[in-house]
Amino acid sequence: MKKIIAVAIISTLLVVLSLYAVNAVIVSQQKSKQLEISHTLLQYSEDLSQNVALALKSITTQGCDKTSLDSYRQIKLDSLYFGDVGFIEKGKIVCTAFWGKLATPVALPAELHKTPRGFLLAQFDKKEFFTGNAAIYHNIIIFTSRYAYDKFSPVTASYSLSATTKDFGRTFFSTPPAFKQQDLLHSTLFTITLTQCSAFWDLCVIVKHHNAGLASLSPVVFTFLVVILYFIWVAITFFFFRIYEDRFSLERTLVKAVITNTISVKYQPIIRIQDKKIVGIEVLSRWHDQKHGDVSPELFIPLIKKIGLYRKYYINIIEKSLLEIAPLATKHQLVVSLNVGRTEIEDGQFIAILRRACLIHRIPLSLIKIELSEKAVSTVDILEEFCRELKSLGIKVSIDDFGVQNSNLARLSLLEYDEIKIDKSLVDGISEHYKQNIFVIFSDALARLNKSLVFEGVENEIQYRFIADRYPDALVQGWYFSKSLTRSELAQKLVGVAR
């Protein structure tokens, strides 16, 4: 139940984050259109301001005589932007192109906005005279046509547009969205506001996209999106919970396996090419868990290191393998190979632990071989001392996995060792012509070091014959001869007929 609640909470949070991301994507696309509308509106407003300014400055007639009125009327007719043109005297409009000479002059609004370029802007709200905006220069006034911004009405289904002065104190044009205004929260969350101002005129345009982002989706589409996202995140969350539980369960079971010493050992035969005789075995740890089945050493050994039980693990493996194999090894003179990594190399007690185990189980140190993995390279000084001490006790030293990681022929000259194991990755190349040449060059160079060569991962007749013909004194191991065996299987194989 707790797991289901946790999955539900986490999935809900992830759905919310996903919706936020989807909203951001939709908004990003919508902003492009909004920017285009804003740019068009600003350019149009600038053109309108430019026409009004040029017209105001071009009028040379003054007064309300017939010539002046005819001039005003002609200017009005020449521009679709202009609603009317008039003359001001003593703060009052005394005549216009449309009304002619007014019987009762109309006073200018009390508040006039002065622009940096010397124009005055006025707003009228006189239904019997004029409602809208006007610009004044000296004694001439031009009223902006109430239809000047009609071209922007079709794009306002979900937009509100406005054109104002830069201090936002005067509005030249404003149109609301077609829908009814939503509540404040909805409006704030799903409204995109874009403001652009003119570099030449006292003018800014504001474009608001209402019901933007997710709010622009239909209820059906939005519901479908939420359901799909919830399904996906629930599945993914359950998947990661399962991985976590398996990993936690695996670690917990592995701790018990190390402590109770239930990790088993198997032995892979090492064959001498000359007579196809088993002359050695490599100790391999294996772990079978009831829940997880056979777990790869590449998985459980790093986990053992992570949980801090590696020292106990390798001591258990040494004890268990020598207890099982010592009698067979002594009887058939098999060299027992133990894999050693950085932890053992840098552990000052490893060699003492190994000697003690050999003494208890009565196996000569001369039948022990330590395989140093290149995947766990230690510092040069420690590694040299480690090899030197092993050799002084009569223990054989093998360089394992050669051909991968940090393979270095120069470094080999610093170490005391008896054998080099050629990694399976190079042996696999025998079946491919261009890789075969690399294999030969590499192996020939190692053969000249006058050390024993062991070829790992020999899996078929072609590989075996190629190695046997070219390196008859070498050793091989791999599935071509045998997989890893239990102690009893190895004992049966030792008394049987060699392949």
Instruction: State the Cα–Cα distance between residues 304 and 235, nearest whole angstrom.
Output: 30
Residue 117 has pLDDT above 80, yes or no: yes
- 198 and 308, same domain (yes or no): no
One domain for residues 302 and 206: no
Domain boundary among 147, 181, 215: 215
Looking at the structure of the chain, the number of domains it has is 2
Do 193 and 96 have their domain in common? yes
Bridge partners of residue 254, in order along the sequence: none
For residue 203, the one-letter residue type is L
Where a domain ends, among 178, 200, 215?
215
Question: Residue 206's beta-bridge partner residues?
Answer: 162, 195
C-alpha to C-alpha distance for 465 and 476, rounded to whole angstroms: 11
411 in a structural domain: yes
Burial class (CB in 10 A: 0-12, 13-18, 19+), 139: middle
The C-alpha angle 303, 304, 305, rounded to 5 degrees, equals: 90
Q: Which amino acid is at 351?
A: I
Say which residue, 250 or 296, is predicted with more confidence. Answer: 296
Q: Per-residue pLDDT for 498 more than 50?
A: no
Cβ-count burial of 441 within 10 angstroms (0-12 exposed, 13-18 middle, 19+ buried)?
A: exposed
- Give the confidence band of 281 by pLDDT, cuts at 50, 70, 90: very high
- Angle among Cα 47, 53, 58 to the nearest 5 degrees reads 125
User: In this model, does residue 409 exceed pLDDT 70?
Assistant: no
Domain-located, residue 223:
no
What tokens were used for 82?
Answer: 């202009």
Closest CA to 262 of 233, 286, 237: 286
Q: Are 338 and 320 in contact (CB under 8 A)?
A: no
Do 377 and 308 share a structural domain? Answer: yes
**Does residue 232 sit within a domain?**
no
Tokens 């001490």 locate to 389
Domain edge (last residue) among 215, 244, 279: 215
Q: Are 160 and 25 in the same domain?
A: yes
pLDDT at 407: 53
pLDDT band at 346 (very low <50, low <70, confident <90, very high): confident
- The answer on 266 and 170 residing in a single domain is no
Sign of CA dihedral 79, 80, 84, 90: negative
DSSP string, 173-206: EEE--SSPP--HHHHHHT-EEEEEE-SSSS-EEE
479 plus 335 within the same structural domain: yes
Residue 246 lies in a domain: no
350 and 462, same domain (yes or no) = yes
59-74 tens-digit pLDDT: 887 889 999 999 999 9
254 within a domain of the structure (yes/no): no
Taking the C-alpha atoms of residue 323 and residue 325, their distance in angstroms, rounded to an integer, is 6
Q: Averaged over 92-108, what is the pLDDT?
A: 91
How much is the pLDDT for 326? Answer: 94
User: 353-366: string of b/e by CB count within 10 Å (b at 16+)?
Assistant: bbeebbeebebeee
Task: Work out the average pLDDT over 276-280.
Answer: 94
Any domain includes 63: yes
CB within 8 Å of 34: residues ≥ 6 apart:
159, 192, 194, 207, 209
Residue at 241 is within a domain: no
**177 and 300 part of one domain:** no
CB 304 within 8 A of CB 254: yes
* Of 23-27, 301-305, 416-420, 493-497, minimum mean pLDDT range: 493-497
Question: How confident is residue 248, by pLDDT bands cut at 50, 70 and 90?
Answer: low
Q: Which domain holds residue 139?
A: 2-215
d(CA 393, CA 128): 118
Assess contact for 264 and 476: CB atoms under 8 A.
no
pLDDT at 181 over 60: no
Domain with residue 393: its CATH number is 3.20.20.450
Residue-level pLDDT at 79: 87
| 109 phi/psi in degrees, rounded to 5 | -55, 155
- What's the whole-number mean pLDDT along residues 213-219? 80
> Does residue 122 sit in the same domain as residue 65?
yes
78 and 208: one domain?
yes
Same domain, 183 and 324: no
183 falls in which pLDDT band (50, 70, 90)? very low
> In 3-state terms, what secondary structure has residue 111?
coil
Q: Would 85 be classed as within a structural domain? A: yes
